[in-house]
Amino acid sequence: MSENSEYENVFSGVLGENYQTIKLICPLAAKMSRLVGEAVKEYAQTHQQALNVVELGGGTGITTLSILLAADNLKVSSIDNAATMQQQAKVSLKKWVEQQRVDFIEADALVALKSMPDNSADIIASAYTLHNFLHEYREELVSEIYRVLKSGGKFINGDRHGLDDISEHTAMLQQEIASYFKVLKAENKIDLLEHWIVHLFADESENRVMRESIALNQLKQAGFSNVTLSQRIEVNALMSATKP
């Protein structure tokens, strides 16, 4: 069995329908979750002590699972403010809850981070959450992420990172919308189609859109080094940064 299909089998087995749905409507989100896990794995390979990982916006647990599978020497505190989403993660990840490798915090991400001590996390990871936030909230969140991370700790975010070239970005959005119509019309999921289009307007709004160079600068301004954007796939990319 190839490494890829093995990964797919594990994810489908643990997350069931949730994983199939996300893959159907947003295949690149599933791919980004996997890339976040790979970045965590890379960090864990060079840091063999017990690692404390904080996840922002854990949702139904797709990225949480990817992080948990990345290494055995890590524990995850997964924060989400939506009880229904988090409940699904608690059920799917029961095995890891029992092993005390994951705990769930039902709270706003900024409120939860503010309650955490300075220099207490090795990794703060996230997927598809920060792009939802208003600019001022994100700015405050980034400085909290910096404060909570240990020196040498890493911030990893697989998310929508808008292209600086607005024409190119618009062309990609048009492709994205066309694919929602293609897939969801064929599945007769018109309600979901409406939901995605409405949500996309919020993602792309002037007071929220997370443009690549602005996001990179925001991390540098907060004090991070090695700020990089990699693995761009259409409007999605993996951002990582280290606290010196």
Ligand X SMILES: C[S@@+](CC[C@H](N)C(=O)[O-])C[C@H]1O[C@@H](n2cnc3c(N)ncnc32)[C@H](O)[C@@H]1O
Q: By the criterion CB under 6 A, which residues form the site for ligand X?
A: 33, 57-59, 62-63, 79-82, 85, 108-109, 127-129, 132
Smallest CA-to-CA distance from 39 within 244, 243, 240 is with 240
Select from 144, 175, 176, 160 the least CA-distant residue to 211.
160
Strand, coil or helix: 103: strand
Residue placing its CB nearer to ligand X in the complex, 127 or 148: 127
Smallest gap, in angstroms, from Cβ of residue 40 to ligand X?
13
Displacement of CA 35 from its chain's centroid (Å)? 10
> 29: exposed, middle or buried (C-beta count within 10 Å: 0-12, 13-18, 19+)?
buried
CB of 49 to ligand X, least distance (A): 26
**Which residue do the tokens 């854990």 mark?**
58
Shorter beta-carbon distance to ligand X: residue 31 or 47:
31
Taking a C-beta distance cutoff of 8 angstroms, is the pair 40, 70 a contact? yes
What's the N-to-C CA distance of the chain in angstroms? 41
Of residues 127 and 210, the one with the C-beta less far from ligand X: 127
Nearest CB to ligand X, comparing residues 88 and 242: 88
CB of 211 to ligand X, least distance (A): 19
Q: Nearest approach, Cβ of 235 to ligand X (angstroms)?
A: 14
State the minimum distance, in angstroms, from the CB of residue 68 to ligand X: 13
CA distance linking residue 74 with residue 95, whole number of Å: 15
Q: Which residue is nearest to ligand X (CB)?
A: 59
Specify the residue, 146 or 196, whose C-beta has the smaller distance to ligand X. Answer: 196
